[in-house]
Structure 1
Amino acid sequence: MSGAPVPLSAGAAEPPCHAYDVALLDLDGVVYVGPEAVPGVPRALAAVRAAGMRLGFVTNNASRTPDEVAGHLTALDVPADATEVITSSQAAATVVAQRLGAGARVLPVGGPGVAAALEAAGLTVVSRAEDEPLAVVQGYGRDVGWTELAEAVVAVRNGAEHVATNADATIPSPRGPLPGNGALVGVVSAVTGRRPLVTGKPDPAMHAECVRRTGARRPLVVGDRLDTDVEGGRRAGAATLLVLTGVTDPPVLLAAGPDQRPDLLAPDAGGLLTAHPGVVAEDGGWRCGAWTVRCGDGPLRLRRDGVGAPASADGLDGLRALCVAHWGRHPEAAAPVQVTADDEAAAVVLRQWGLPS
């Protein structure tokens, strides 16, 4: 295959905590799910800090202030300062202040973090459409209801710019995906007939805010979502590490389009501490550790046949090889994968990954 290297093929010869200066960590689905930390992640992040890598905690969830987010993280044994937290509300506030100027009237819709970010950016927060806001900034809030949405609709119909902190349709929870900010942004858009300006991930404004606040020179975006974390990192020119503790599973990853294919893959954020194997072309297919994928003309064929070959401890070498093989076949577009197992070991992992064989 010619052209640019396939994402995931290069791997990382040294642990990312040594190769990059700041890890820009998504929160929901990466550091915690709901109120609880992802198992093992607090200890892993402590080791990452000890190795000299700085952490930025990045969230599209606009409902809480940086102080509240830092307090939650600290309670989960992930010590954090408010200055290390970057929210989509802050990115939206920066964009609105640049577009409308200091002191501009803005109507916030969402949790307390939205209004707090607007005030910190020097904007004037108002509560009614009759206050003639120049913009409506809409972010996630558990208590957002009909009254707030109606106020936003009236303001936007009167000419206010509609700015969304993010367009995530769902948020992860222990009960499964729940409605996210994008679902409620869709209500306002459907009634007004106007599309919002979205400033959170994957818009480059979000990661520009991250780089500005952390001073990162070689940032690594760590996330669980392809459409926000990975695409956002790629659009901002940053390397990306996908973890499988949130909403993305192997079938979704394999079907990803070119803009949503990560550079690195790990089961969880502990992947910051380990080297990542590369995927190399071999005999008309691809090899990663002890796993090979044969391409041919039909379905991809996965096999564990590397007797004595080194294997990474995370159990994802076969998935890495499948991704590179499938993406190499479809360099320009998303496509569902067809794969078959060539031995029992392959059949076992394909079942574990939810891939029919």
Structure 2
Amino acid sequence: MSATLLDGHDVVLFDLDGTVYRGGELVPGALEAIREVHRRGVTVRYVTNNASKSDSSVAEHLTGLGLTAAPTEVSTSAQAGAAVLAAQLPPGSRVLVVGAPALVSEVDRVGLVPVRDLADDPVAVVQGHSTETAWRNLAEACLAIRGGALWVACNSDRTLPTERGEVPGNGAMVAALQAATGQEPVVAGKPERPLLDRAVSSAGAQAPLMVGDRLDTDIAGAVHAGMPSLMVLTGVSTAADLLAATPDQRPDHVAADLRALHRPAAESAIAEQPGWKVRVDGDALELSTQPGEAGDALAALRTLCAAWWPTAAGPVAVRGVDERAQDALRHLGLA
């Protein structure tokens, strides 16, 4: 049997929202795929940009969905943000926290003193997602940052997926402070390296694989960290987003869901796939089927990316030359 995508990796870094679950439900195929990763003895790390939940609560949520998960298998952007602060500040330094109690706990865990008010003379600000963040919290942080405080953002995701759709994420609140201060924070979560580096280090691993649904965080983070990645089409980023991706957001593999981990690696690789042919026609692409058995729509997508990416980046018009190609493009939302 051909080598599977999992072969050769000693840890898999799983994004959570949109990759493993959506709200209170597992993504189809996730349970079986992750159980098989464990069965094969490969280490698992769940890496989340959501700084509002502790590692224990994330593990409890995953366990409630049927997975086996321990707090030590969870790496959060709150942990990464606290680690960034601890590397730059003396123990006992006061840090103004804009975020949830989980972030407060992580700041305390690394030997720093979490505070909520400018009157407490903080030397740094750390900002993570919280549904309770109000204007007053942003105002206190704004004044501290303007006064020279070190500013660390746990992540910069502008939206957060929920069962009702995408809502403002931590990045939206970060953007408000950027506008008010003219400053840029140090970002600890994806797409920057601290969160992923911490997860790999905690596993003692040498050959990681990143799996996620967002090009701008999960895949860009993998590119920045120099690790291979799999994009799954179960969350935010779409086939059109993938085709238009810039070099710093391009995965090595793309698949419908996590079950691709246990399929031959060549099946999900961004490369020309059997049965499909793409011709670059100026600023457009022509997709056609070839004699013999053509693959599915995702195989067509991989072939399109393999043809377009070496040529340019950004949105591109795609035409189906024959009926099956047109059907594939409709399925991908590229017609």
Same-fold call, TM > 0.5?
A: yes
The whole-number CA distance in structure 1 between the counterparts of 2:14 and 2:253 is 14
Deviations 1:169-228 (A, max 9, x none): 011122221111000111122222222111111111121111121212100011111111
Q: 1:320 maps to what in 2?
A: 302
The Cα of 1:114 is off from its aligned counterpart by: 0.9
Answer yes or no: is 1:262 the counterpart of 2:244: no
Answer yes or no: is 1:169 the counterpart of 2:154: no
Q: With CA pairs under 8 Å and 6+ residues apart, which has the higher RCO, 1 or 2?
A: 1
Answer yes or no: is 1:305 the counterpart of 2:290: yes
One-letter amino acid of the counterpart of residue 302, structure 2: R
CA contact (8 A) 2:254 2:268 kept: no
Q: 1:92 maps to what in 2?
A: 81
CA contact (8 A) 1:97 1:104 kept: no
One-letter amino acid of the counterpart of residue 126, structure 1: V
Q: 2:181 maps to what in 1?
A: 192
Structure 1 residues 119, 338: closer, same or farther in 2, change over 3 A? same
Deviations 1:103-153 (A, max 9, x none): 211111111221111111111111211111111100011221222222212
Number of residue pairs the alignment of both structures matches: 335
Deviations 1:78-121 (A, max 9, x none): 21100000001111111111111222111111112211111111
One-letter amino acid of the counterpart of residue 270, structure 1: R
Find the partner of 2:239 among 229, 233, 250. 250
Percent identity reads 45
The Cα of 1:52 is off from its aligned counterpart by: 2.2
CA contact (8 A) 1:279 1:321 kept: no
CA contact (8 A) 1:201 1:228 kept: yes
Q: Secondary structure of the equivalent of 2:47?
A: strand
One-letter amino acid of the counterpart of residue 316, structure 1: L
Question: TM-score normalized by structure 1?
Answer: 0.89
One-letter amino acid of the counterpart of residue 19, structure 1: G
The residue correspondences of 1:51-70 to structure 2 (distance < 5 A) are: 51-70=40-59
Segments of 5+ residues of structure 1 without an aligned counterpart are: 1-12
Find the partner of 1:346 among 311, 321, 325. 325
The whole-number CA distance in structure 2 between the counterparts of 1:36 and 1:27 is 11
The Cα of 1:278 is off from its aligned counterpart by: 6.3
The residue correspondences of 1:1-357 to structure 2 (distance < 5 A) are: 14-277=3-266, 287-297=272-282, 299-308=284-293, 311=295, 315-330=297-312, 334-356=313-335
CA contact (8 A) 2:255 2:268 kept: no
Segments of 5+ residues of structure 2 without an aligned counterpart are: none
Stretch of structure 1 that moved more, 314-323 or 224-233: 314-323
Structure 1 residues 20, 280: closer, same or farther in 2, change over 3 A? closer
The Cα of 1:341 is off from its aligned counterpart by: 0.4
The whole-number CA distance in structure 2 between the counterparts of 1:295 and 1:15 is 31
One-letter amino acid of the counterpart of residue 150, structure 2: E
One-letter amino acid of the counterpart of residue 206, structure 2: R
The Cα of 1:315 is off from its aligned counterpart by: 4.5
One-letter amino acid of the counterpart of residue 151, structure 2: H
The whole-number CA distance in structure 2 between the counterparts of 1:113 and 1:273 is 35
CA contact (8 A) 1:115 1:125 kept: yes
Stretch of structure 1 that moved more, 169-178 or 316-325: 169-178
The Cα of 1:267 is off from its aligned counterpart by: 0.8
CA contact (8 A) 1:108 1:114 kept: yes
The whole-number CA distance in structure 1 between the counterparts of 2:257 and 2:132 is 31
Q: 1:6 maps to what in 2?
A: none
* Structure 1 ranges of 4+ moved more than 6 A: 278-281
Structure 1 residues 35, 70: closer, same or farther in 2, change over 3 A? same
The whole-number CA distance in structure 2 between the counterparts of 1:246 and 1:21 is 25
One-letter amino acid of the counterpart of residue 325, structure 2: A
The Cα of 1:297 is off from its aligned counterpart by: 4.0
